[in-house]
A = this chain, B = another copy of it.
Amino acid sequence: MAAELTAQQLTAQHRPTLDRALEAIRTRAYWSPHPEHPKAYGENGSLDLAAGKAAFDALLGTRLDLGQPGTDGWVDGETSPYGVELGVSYPHADPDVLLPAMKAGMRAWRDAGAETRALVCLEILKRIGDRTLEFAHAVMHTSGQAFMMAFQAGGPHAQDRGLEAVAYAYAEQTRTPGTAEWTKPQGKREPLALTKRFTPVPRGIGLVVGCNTFPTWNGYPGLFASLATGNAVLVKPHPRAVLPLALTVQVARRVLTEAGFDPNLVALAAERPGEGIAGTLATRPEIRIVDYTGSTEFGDWLEANARHAQVYTEKAGVNTVIVESVGDYRGMLANLAFSLSLYSGQMCTAPQNLLIPRDGVTTDQGHKSFDEVVADLAGAVDGLLGDDTRAVGLLGALVNPGVKDRLEAAADLGEVALASRRITHPEFPDAVVRTPVIVKLDGAKPDDEAACMSECFGPVSFAVAVDSASDAADLLRRTVREKGAMTVGAYTTSPEFEEEVREVCLEEAAQLSLNLTGGVYVNQTAAFSDFHGSGGNPAANAALTDAAFVANRFRVVEVRREA
């Protein structure tokens, strides 16, 4: 049977996008082919929005049969953080059947070459992109993100990260030419001449272990990096966030089939409650790559136990913002208030510790004492979230009961500068919606320092009084070195202090945002330009996305012969 998607069609449709993505990762200037506004997805405005919702609703209560080999039962049980029972059931896989079946198509996928693989990946991303408004609901009702964030972060931004990984994978595989003629002079004798052929070969099956909060955004880089480098990919979603990745697998399998490849190159491994299959799968000999986002405990376990595989982990970290001196005090307050509120702080990039000198800081609004800064920030959060409808649109819902427990426990750690407030979601009364708490700590007290140096994932931040700006830099250094950090922020008008903080970040490999006061937030990174994590501190052993993230997912085999 001829493939429905021909190489010519794929090239015509996607090669320009691939070229543009390759340029973007070289310049790291702004670029995205995936529009960020719902209106761009169709020409009928609210009708398209409704159609996206209807497509999502039509999935509820259905069986998502992916046609996978080795399906030995069905798994369901997802409940939205908004209280909706999704009721979608997914295939449960027998790895002894599924994994060998996934390997069957790898030779043809390898032989297709880097360009075809990249173009097929771009077609998968395009099909996902066409259903962005439907995916938005799937992400919303698994992560608890508010709709607009689920749409943006789970849609175009996730697709950007996937495309970025494809571009890096393509660039890396094509750095070595397909063939080379090697002719070595031998003085007066005939030169030695060899013809060499170089082939990128995959490592095996890549395992993507998804997370609850950003199933697509954190899942796509590893999925597309492994697939584009010739590997098969088994997707093991978080048990509470299966739907977005199951739909992704469904789309991938369909596109692979249409392009003439084996659909089993991409498969889903959903698990029964409490089954904990990630560790079992990661240590299977067929699995040679693991991409993981989640707890430090399990990430460390993977790194220690899946040593036959390349393991890329994003784990816990403690993010710091230092306020040393401020050129735009109101801008800083608004910017930080948004960063603390967005998705109830349930981002690996959200600030946790706000280090402020106990003697206060100079600002464009005059000197502000420690208490004033904290109170003004609390006020800014209050103002931002004063209207319940707007608040739920920013906060979303708490993703699981653990976050709520931590939030409630945080109030006992110190003086509460801003109390968390319960909000009833107008549409989803069962959703657990809470505003952030801000707790004051004293960096000079050992107990307080210990508290702020533990990750407290969720809408909790600590305003930490420090003796001096240099003490803040020291605490930052220790925090990054010992606990890791995905982001660091600093507000300073002092070139000397800026240099001090920058040096800490360079030495401890942390990504630094300086003096953000406008519409870019420390917790946001843009694909093709910003690195997500550094891969050089304990929060993550890889960065999204750089060459190191893709270069070891394949190897190059050389066949040489006399010319």
Contact = CB atoms under 8 A, between A and B. Distances in A.
A87 interface: no
Given A518-B562, A557-B510, A526 B184 contact: yes
Contacts of A560: 512-514, 520, 530
A505 interface: yes
B556 A551 contact: no
Count of chain copies: 2
Given A30-B185, A534-B555, A535-B555, 15 more contacts: A28-B196, A29-B181, A29-B182, A176-B546, A182-B526, A203-B536, A509-B557, A511-B557, A515-B562, A516-B562, A531-B558, A534-B556, A547-B547, A547-B551, A551-B551
A290 interface: no
A221 to B, nearest CB: 16
A180 interface: yes
A4 interface: no
A512 B552 contact: no
B557 A30 contact: no
Contacts of A557: 505-506, 509-512, 534, 536
Contact of A558 (B182, B303, B530): B530
Question: DSSP class of A's interface residues: helix, strand, loop or mixed?
Answer: mixed
A177 interface: yes
Contacts of A175: 25-26, 547
B516 A531 contact: no
A192 interface: yes
A181 B175 CA distance: 26
Contacts of A546: 176, 551, 556
A180 B559 contact: no
A192 B519 contact: yes
Interface in A529-562: 529-531, 534-536, 543, 546-548, 551-552, 555-562
Contact of A172 (B183, B518, B547): B547
A145 B551 CA distance: 35
A304 interface: yes
Interface string A25-41: 11111100000000000
A346 interface: no
A186 interface: yes
A412 B548 CA distance: 48
Closest 7 CB pairs of A and B: A536-B555, A548-B551, A28-B180, A514-B561, A548-B552, A547-B551, A30-B184
A497 interface: no
A483 interface: no
